[in-house]
Copies of this chain bind each other. A is one copy, B any other.
Amino acid sequence: MNIGEASKASGISGKMIRYYESIGLIPSVGRTEAGYRTFSDKDIHTLRFIARARSLGFSVEQMSNLLALWRDSNRASSDVKAVAYAHIEELDSKIEKLIAMRQTLQHLAEHCHGDHRPSCPILGDLAGVPEPVGTPTTADV
Contact = CB atoms under 8 A, between A and B. Distances in A.
A104 interface: yes
A81 B122 contact: yes
Nearest to A76: B116
21 contacts: A49-B126, A52-B126, A53-B126, A55-B101, A56-B104, A56-B105, A75-B118, A76-B117, A77-B112, A77-B116, A77-B118, A78-B113, A78-B115, A78-B116, A80-B120, A81-B114, A84-B108, A85-B109, A87-B105, A91-B98, A92-B102
A135 B34 CA distance: 46
B66 A126 contact: yes
A134 to B, nearest CB: 19
Given A78-B115, A81-B114, A88-B105, 4 more contacts: A52-B125, A77-B117, A78-B116, A91-B98
A45 interface: yes
Interface residues of A, number: 53
Contacts of A53: 126
Interface of A: 45, 48-49, 52-53, 55-57, 66, 69-70, 73-78, 80-81, 84-85, 87-88, 91-92, 94-95, 97-99, 101-102, 104-106, 108-109, 112-120, 122-123, 125-128, 138
Given A49-B126, A118-B74, A120-B80, A95 B92 contact: no
